[in-house]
Amino acid sequence: MVELDPNPRPIDALTALGAPGDIALEDRAGAWRYADLETAVGALAHWLAAQDFSRGARVASWLPKTRTACLMPLAAARVGLVHVPVNPVLKRAQIAHILSDSGASLLLTQAARAGTLEAGDVPAGCRVVLEDEPTQLDALPPSAADPGELAAILYTSGSTGRPKGVMLSHANMWLGAISVAHYLKITPADRVLGVLPLSFDYGQNQLFSTWAGGGRVIPLDYLTAKDVIKAVDRHDVTTIAGVPPLWVQLLDSEWGDVAGKVKRLTNSGGALTMPMVRGLRTMFPNADLYPMYGLTEAFRSTYLDPAEVDANPESMGRAIPFAEIMVVRPDGSRADPGEAGELVHAGPLVAQGYWQDPERTAQRFKQAPDFSCYGGMAVFSGDNVVEGTDGLLRFVGRDDEMIKSAGNRISPTEVEEAVMAGGEAREAAAFGVRDARLGQAVVVVAVARGDASEAEAKLRTRLRRDLPSFMQPTRYEWRDELPRNANGKFDRSALKAELTA
């Protein structure tokens, strides 16, 4: 198990944490040992250095999960550049914004993607280079960068307005990797299936935390749940990280004996419902389940120990190593156990703010509360949580998503959990919609398990029994599927915009 060393190092030093002869990455092309990984990172870093960019220049990559995509975060950092990973599912308008906003000097991509760009999409001073152009050069050795130096800008999915660029230092990413590898107990025997986008902090950390623990990454661009099952079987995968929409797909699939190979499941990017928890525990009987909560501005905040999942399936758990998590009242004081307050995260995982956006940085990044142990800059999440007398945190809802109906404050999460509890719906999201009589009415958008009209009739009957009258949904809207953002999470903002248009 990884030692919990609190001293950050340059992120490109991760290649030295695995034994040189152990396998670091495996795909259809074969396997790279840690010695091969170090050589490849050094060679790509040498090529980047030969492009004569100024130190701190931004270099973007717009790639699927190729080997080059896996190398770029470390190679760019090694030569003193700032990596800007771009989600491969984004389209030209979003690419143009990210390139312009970041001031990128380079876009490393593939011919098919480059061919979708039009005049004006690539700003002056930004070169487009195809993935196969970098040549093999002598390898640059690991850097001696200041751990506080900016190393990456990760753009949020941008479901509301333009995406924001979150600035991450070497220390942010290094300590995030060490923390996660430690509490997940990653070892060289682990084979981690990388299905999440590398532009997503959760997906990128899969690389870093696996390599911090000396394990093996199997990057996978999947189209269907069957692709995931085949990859688990082919590579003897021990660990799958996912978001709730992926678990819905996997729980609806036939696994046979393959599920028995999986030893660890990790979830972030949205809360697991109790039916999901029960389903995952049944389908993967040999796997430890790690529910987690995070936000890009501080990467990861909490996790729930697998030993506590069955008794507390609705909990977010406790702070991860290197994170200080506080529940704070509006006046800045500490909330009492059982009292809802805003989740505030302090400590060395807190990002450096939003790239070239001091106004939005000031709204989210503020001085830590007076009672903070770490002090310094903290992230005010905007999420309401409750800490129980057992020390476990439970999610209440985002303040801007709370439903105010007939004088009551209603957590959409609580409504969604009630809707999902009976199995009539596969997925559900609850919203408050303007109503002349109530102020806001509760509306549920859902995907039925079977016939929608039958599902709604059963739901209405059951919820009249299970929920108080002020929490009853006034309307159901049934869809074939719920929209996702670029990271595969439910796009609540898009749904809300549809309902309120």
Residue 285, C-beta contacts closer than 8 angstroms, at least 6 positions apart: 259, 260
The three-class DSSP label of residue 469 is helix
Position 160 scores a pLDDT of 41
Asked whether 420 and 458 are in contact (CB, 8 A), the reply is: no
Beta bridge partners, 469, equal none
* DSSP secondary structure of 181-233: HHHHT--TT-EEEE-S-TTSHHHHHHHHHHHHTT-EEEE---SSHHHHHHHHH
Position 332 scores a pLDDT of 96
Asked whether 277 and 309 are in contact (CB, 8 A), the reply is: yes
Q: How many helices (H) and strands (E) does the chain have?
A: 13, 25
Domain boundaries, the chain: 1-172, 402-500
Position 157 scores a pLDDT of 62
d(CA 301, CA 293): 6
CA gyration radius for the chain?
23
Asked whether 398 and 431 are in contact (CB, 8 A), the reply is: no
Query: pLDDT tens across 334-376, in order?
Result: 999 999 999 999 999 999 999 999 999 999 999 999 999 999 9
Q: How many angstroms separate the most distant Cα atoms in the chain?
A: 71
Asked whether 120 and 141 are in contact (CB, 8 A), the reply is: no
The gap between the terminal CA atoms of the chain, to the nearest Å, is: 51
Position 36 scores a pLDDT of 97
CATH number for the domain formed by residue range(s) 1-172: 3.40.50.12780
The three-class DSSP label of residue 456 is helix
Burial 264-274, CB ≥16 within 10 A → b, else e: bbbbbbbbbbe
d(CA 81, CA 150): 8
Position 60 scores a pLDDT of 98
pLDDT, one tens digit for every residue, the chain (501 residues)? 888 999 999 999 999 999 999 999 999 999 999 999 999 999 999 999 999 999 999 999 999 999 999 999 999 999 999 999 999 988 888 899 999 999 999 999 999 999 999 999 999 999 999 999 888 778 999 999 999 999 999 998 643 456 789 999 999 999 999 999 999 999 999 999 999 999 999 999 999 999 999 999 999 999 899 999 999 999 999 999 998 889 989 999 999 999 999 999 999 987 888 889 999 999 999 999 999 999 899 999 999 999 999 999 989 999 999 999 999 999 999 999 999 999 999 999 999 999 999 999 999 999 999 999 999 999 999 999 999 999 999 988 777 787 888 777 787 888 998 899 899 999 999 998 988 778 789 999 999 999 999 999 999 999 998 887 888 999 999 999 998 887 777 788 888 888 877
> What fold characterizes domain 402-500?
GMP Synthetase; Chain A, domain 3 (3.30.300)
**Burial class of 132 by CB neighbour count within 10 A (0 to 12, 13 to 18, 19+):** exposed
d(CA 293, CA 274): 16
Residue 163, C-beta contacts closer than 8 angstroms, at least 6 positions apart: 94, 97, 98, 155, 156, 157
Query: pLDDT tens across 177-225, in order?
Result: 999 999 999 999 999 999 999 999 999 999 999 999 999 999 999 989 9
d(CA 97, CA 102): 8
Position 47 scores a pLDDT of 97
